[in-house]
Amino acid sequence: MKKILFLLVIIIICTTNIISIADDIDEEQEETINKEEILSASTNAENIPIINSRSAIVIDRTSETVLYEKNAYDKRKMASTTKILTAIVVLENANLKDVVEVSKKAGGTGGSRLGLKEKDRITVNDLLYGLLLRSGNDSAVALAEHVGGSISGFSNLMNEKVKELGLKNSHFVTPHGLDEDEHYTTAYELALITDYALKNEKFANIVNTKDTTIYINGQAKNITNTNELLGNLNGVNGVKTGFTNGAGRCLVTSVTRNGHQIICVVLGADTKKYRTQDSIKLIEFAFKNYEYVNIKEKIEAEFKKWQNQEMKKIIYNKSINNYINYKLGEIKLNQIPILKNNIKDIELEINYKKELEAPVEENTPIGTICVKVKDKILVNVEILTSEKLEKKGILEYIQDFIKNYNYYISIGLQNII
């Protein structure tokens, strides 16, 4: 009987350990997705994506236009895609040449690993490659302890960055993304974090690396990127894979085609194959169904038309000037992606003040040009005064009276007669 109980205890312990390790499995040991499957999914992508992933979003990087979303604002666990923020915090707070001695805690971290052991020595630079290519949880802990002093100290830095970016629905507890109740983000905010990270040249170069050689204790080790789309789908240049039991399969992808870059986020797919297929469907949907329209050109043409036809109708009260000139405010975006079927529905609407009372300072907004598609506002651009509207003084009123004296007299005689 004692032997049976002993065996049961051993089975429970082993099972518990397996579940714990499965919280972030080795991405390299997941089901393999071959290039032929990826190309097939790309060719057969649906116009209106139906996806398995619980949450997803596609955004255009330049305009931050949302091209597709599914539950994109719901809080969710995000597994190893956490390491996008981990990397950017490290890049902004550490020297790449620093040598880190791996602690017992870092060396003992389970799940997806670079293969570090206690007292190993490795540079921050190589740890970052281990973090983002190999998805090493041990790399994440080593970096966190080096930069933040501890996991909690580093988490504070992560949340400070979240606050700096103006994100309201993200909170980070770990540098690797193992499941924690208070560790979450949304597909939308993860896309914004990725957009910010990609502005860092070093980060962008790392996540666009298919394989590389790093050095642990001076010994070479070759590592390969876990991102199944990198090198297999046209234009993919990053970013990060992820999986835990709580988060499901996750993938953040950056794609550039014809000078336009999008970020695709899928969270909570049931299998690696689903996350791959979902990402491809969304990427192809974005590039096949959206067209980049030169909005700046349209706004400038509408403004010129307004100058020729409407501007002269403005009435100026108490002013020295009979009229003044105007200019457009900043047009932040030259081009905006618009669904091809909606391009015919683009409307430009101008609203402006019909009367101005002096004085009015230069650069004062007096109206807007609004670009809309089916009542959805895409862009608002201000119409500004390009010079000051001067107010009349007593001298100007006297001069006006003298100038118009004969007119006033004639009006008075006519009234008497």
- Supply the residues annotated as catalytic: 80, 83, 135
DSSP-assigned letters across all residues of 298-318: HHHHHHHHHHHHTGGG-EEES
List, in sequence order, every residue forming a beta bridge with 251; answer none if it has no partner. 241, 266
- In angstroms, the CA 207 to CA 212 distance is 11
- Residue 231, class by beta-carbon neighbours within 10 Å (0-12 exposed, 13-18 middle, 19+ buried)? middle
Which of the 8 DSSP states describes residue 285? H
User: Tell me, what amino acid is at 201?
Assistant: E
Rounded CA-CA distance 253/229 in Å is: 8
Q: Which helix (H) or strand (E) holds 328?
A: strand 326-328
Q: Which of left, alpha, beta for 315 (phi over 0: left; psi -120 to 50: alpha)?
A: beta
- CA nearest 330: which of 295, 359, 286, 290? 295
Tell me the C-alpha distance between 54 and 84, whole Å: 20
Alpha helix locations (H) across 28-166?
35-43, 83-93, 104-107, 124-132, 137-148, 151-164
| Alpha-carbon radius of gyration of the chain | 31
Give which of 139, 119, 107 is closest to 214, Cα–Cα: 139
